[in-house]
Structure 1
């Protein structure tokens, strides 16, 4: 099984597991989010340890160690990206499975189990980006829209689209529902590695908001900001940020 096939398969199966946990009716509220996180993480970690034992591993839901820092290949996973949305039975949550090679988000799969049919977007099977005429649409946090994103939208005459998880926002650009995803409120490597791998494969611009590259498998996993957008909007976004 190729790395891309493995990433897509694990993301899909983890998504199914999460739906079953939710539909069991045994948990609700924060307990549901915790049960989903733990169950999906256990599956993903065990599967990756068995299928790719020599690779490093970083998961939001597992204790981090320095062992991965010496590895060229490191799997970076987020078992439930958007725990709140998952618990509320919304569609804007995701499962992230990515492989960073020498710090680059090289292989990725983002499962959107809440969408009809359980969509899985992957870095090795890409389609054409949908065209959009008119002002850009920017996906932003449902609860804390980034000030920079709001400012960019105002300067570009854009529309703000509140949405849940980071993966759902990034995939909204891939799926043609938006043109720009700008985040400046702080994330971690597992929030963006799989989405960046998929978005890059689709030909989207992916970087920090100062234009520098996204670098993964760092000792400090905090990533302050990122920009994922259609390439034709990148220069306008940077100009608006610097205005």
Structure 2
């Protein structure tokens, strides 16, 4: 029997973790991408090389999109696509933090159908398949269904500046932060936080896997306008991400200042 996409991604994520941990806190070489796109380490590249070789060999008919590979239009003509971030949270990795992850997803017809997000330092594996629920280390997870009052939402400080909110009124929520966008989405799915948001255009490789995990755990996940996320776009970005239980998600969307609809 051929291995499922979810099982394939979980195995690859664990292998990615083994590679990355050889470089972690071991002074890896760091370079900076052009245009202020952020740092990349030799660990990112080593993980990317393994994932590209093994996942593409296992699924040769799938398209490929990775933060650390040159993108081409070839993926647009495929039925399914592998969407990966070799290390999500590279800055945290460089700084010796715990909250970087490997984020791997499979997309079909614009929707994520399988996902794995692995945090090697925590030995924490999130996984999901479309319609099959979400798990953390094999245990089913469920998001909270909190309302606005006393909710804790993951996001960077700029998301909570008054100009993003109607009338300048920032919602009465507590703010928290984790380095990896994929991990933030998983934490919402796990119910450890009530929601997460980012109002910046978001790369598909950062959010594809975590979006499925949060959704399968019962959260509502959308772009910042409340629209369903669509993947395998020609320009692989979506206009922000909002994830929370249905009530909190609706309340946050309603209170946001309307933003331009293009990334």
TM-score (norm 2): 0.82
SS at match of 1:120: strand
Question: Aligned residue for 1:219?
Answer: 234
- Equivalent position of 1:192 in the other structure: 207
- Computed over aligned residues only, the root mean square deviation of the Cα atoms, in angstroms, reads 2.5
SS of alignment partner, residue 82 of structure 2: strand
2-side partners of 1:212 and 1:148: how far apart?
A: 23
Tell me what 1:21 maps to. Answer: 23
Q: How does 1:1-243 map to 2 (within 5 A)?
A: 1-23=3-25, 25-27=26-28, 33-115=40-122, 118-124=123-129, 125-126=134-135, 127-129=140-142, 131=144, 135-141=150-156, 144-145=158-159, 147=161, 151=165, 155-241=170-256
Note closer, same or farther for the CA distance 1:200–1:114 as it changes in structure 2 (3 Å cut).
same
Equivalent pairs counted in the alignment come to: 239
Where does structure 2 lack aligned partners over 5 or more consecutive residues?
33-38, 259-263
Relative to structure 1, the CA distance from residue 144 to residue 11 in structure 2 (aligned partners, 3 Å threshold; closer, same or farther) is farther
On the 8 A contact 1:181/1:228 being kept in 2, the answer is yes
Change (3 A) 1:228 1:149: farther
1:146 and 1:204 mapped to 2: Cα distance? 21
Contact 1:28 1:87 in 2 (8 A): no
C-alpha distance in 2 between matches for 1:19 and 1:132? 36
Please give the TM-score of this superposition, normalised by the length of structure 1: 0.89
Which deviations, in whole Å up to 9, do the C-alpha atoms of 1:139-160 show, x marking residues without a partner? Answer: 112x754547974996441101
Deviation per residue, 1:29-75 (Å, 9 max, x gap)? 65994111100100100011110011111111001111110111001
